[in-house]
């Protein structure tokens, strides 16, 4: 008798688990079930629709540092299906990839549909039974088999189940956290859940005046207790900050509690590659060379004018004052502000997060096979697990790697 496997969730992890299972055992009967009318909805819209397939970073030790949660657990999966392996796998299946300057990997076509298209083609020529537009209502273990109950369809009896239902970010793509209930009913525990990789809203209203202004590289961190920093591009928005540096910070503070009454104090260094003394010297040189120039225009040589206006406003300086009338003390205050822009975070951008922090407790899953330690023949892959990474292709990489390992393991 042929083995039957149900893979629940047609996102990145489910797609790769199905492909790996078929590669390892072409005779296996696979049921890929998804509530959407098509596969890989979240994959297609990731990276702004371009699909940030993986990272161009080759050193796996470095890659594993990009996961605030789950890096150690991923070691085995990542070595078995590394970013280089993912790159080679997609290229061998006809999707040409490119590594951009910031080490993110995209299809040359800049179209996420091409990435999902690989799997659609594979599944057409194989024994995969796609069950789309279908909600799984329950999963029961009955002696040696699983009974997968489907809404408005007869139940499926299968030998193995791979749960790849994702987290609860991007709810419009079907990631509504159903998998947590299935995992719990089969004996697993779910850790605390929180949104991650989201924009952050500030108590300060001045970011609205510079909304759309971006910096290629800033250093961003929380002040005081438990100090930490992230670096990367930053974008000011109408309500606060966004961009990779802000997303990384949101990931690090995913489980922190803060609100308007208890804001989280952070600071941004807009010139992370310059020492205070060097920045002071540069501005002072311009000040001395242009004594009749307004202080606002001197500052505007170093940051966009809209932000120079904010500095003058925040420090209560007269921007129209001639630069030779600006004291050393006020110059030092401006430099301190640029090197440590004070902001108070009061909330996350609700519903816009890219991933969910938290998930199935990793202590209950074998990291070398992705099989449950509690329920034999049950496997997990992707975002349903308590794993999340920074932006840059790391979350998709984790899904490909764990999906590949779950599929390969389930075949044996």
Catalogue all structural domains in the chain, each as residue range(s) with its CATH number. Answer: 4-194+358-411 (3.50.50.60), 198-352 (no CATH)
pLDDT at 173: 47
Residue 331: is its pLDDT beyond 60? yes
Q: Evaluate whether 115 touches 107 at the Cβ level (below 8 Å).
A: yes
Dump strand ranges (E) for 29-71: 29-33, 54-55
Residues 6 or more apart whose CB falls under 8 angstroms from that of 330 comprise 315, 317
Q: How many CB atoms lie within 10 A of CB 305?
A: 14
222 or 383, which is more confident? Answer: 383
- State the pLDDT confidence band at 126, using cuts at 50, 70 and 90: confident
Is the pLDDT assigned to residue 75 strictly greater than 90?
A: yes
Lowest mean pLDDT among 128-137, 218-227, 369-378: 218-227
Q: Check residue 171 and give its pLDDT.
A: 45
Question: Are the C-beta atoms of 61 and 30 separated by less than 8 Å?
Answer: no
pLDDT at 169 over 70: no
**Over pLDDT 70: what percentage of the chain?**
96
Residue 172 pLDDT > 90, yes or no?
A: no
Residue 304 has pLDDT above 60, yes or no: yes
Q: What is the pLDDT of residue 229?
A: 80
pLDDT of residue 174: 45
CB atoms within 10 A of CB 284: 17
Please tell me the pTM assigned to this model: 0.90
CA–CA distance, 310 with 338 (Å, rounded to integer): 11
C-alpha–C-alpha distance, residues 373 and 396, integer Å: 24
pLDDT at position 209: 97
């Amino acid at each position: 008798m042929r083995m039957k496997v149900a893979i629940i969730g047609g996102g990145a992890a489910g797609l790769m688990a199905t492909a790996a299972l078929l590669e390892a055992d072409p005779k296996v009967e696979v049921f890929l079930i998804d509530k959407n009318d098509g596969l890989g909805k979240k994959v297609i819209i990731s990276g702004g629709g371009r699909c940030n397939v993986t990272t161009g970073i080759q050193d796996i030790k470095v890659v594993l540092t990009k996961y605030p949660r789950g890096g150690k657990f991923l070691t085995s999966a990542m070595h078995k299906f590394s970013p280089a392996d993912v790159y080679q796998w997609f290229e061998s299946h006809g999707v040409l990839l490119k590594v951009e300057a910031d080490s993110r990997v995209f299809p040359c076509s800049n179209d996420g549909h091409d990435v999902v298209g690989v799997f659609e083609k594979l599944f057409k020529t194989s024994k995969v039974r796609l069950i789309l537009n279908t909600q799984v209502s329950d999963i029961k273990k009955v002696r040696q088999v699983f009974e997968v109950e489907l809404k408005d369809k007869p139940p499926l009896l299968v030998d193995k189940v791979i749960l790849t239902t994702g987290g609860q970010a991007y709810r419009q793509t079907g990631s509504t956290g159903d998998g947590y209930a299935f995992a719990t009913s089969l004996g697993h525990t779910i850790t605390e859940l929180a949104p991650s990789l989201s924009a952050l809203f500030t108590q300060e209203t001045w970011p609205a005046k510079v909304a759309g202004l971006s910096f290629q590289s800033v250093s961003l961190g929380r002040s005081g207790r438990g100090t930490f920093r992230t670096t990367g591009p930053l974008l000011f928005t109408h309500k606060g900050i966004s961009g990779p540096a802000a997303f990384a910070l949101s990931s690090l503070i995913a489980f922190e509690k803060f609100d308007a009454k208890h804001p989280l104090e952070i600071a941004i260094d807009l010139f992370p590659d310059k020492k205070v003394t060097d920045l002071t010297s540069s501005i002072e040189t311009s000040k001395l060379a242009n004594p009749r120039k307004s202080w606002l225009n001197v500052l505007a040589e170093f940051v966009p004018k809209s932000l120079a206006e904010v500095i003058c406003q925040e420090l209560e300086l007269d921007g129209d004052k001639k630069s030779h009338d600006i004291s050393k003390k006020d110059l030092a205050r401006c430099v301190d502000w640029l090197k440590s822009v004070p902001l108070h975070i009061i909330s996350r951008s609700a519903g816009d997060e890219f991933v969910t922090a938290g998930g199935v407790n990793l202590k209950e899953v074998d990291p070398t096979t992705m099989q449950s330690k509690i329920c034999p023949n049950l496997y997990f892959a992707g975002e349903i697990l308590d794993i999340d990474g920074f932006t840059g292709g790391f979350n998709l990489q984790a899904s490909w790697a764990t999906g590949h390992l779950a599929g390969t393991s389930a075949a044996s």
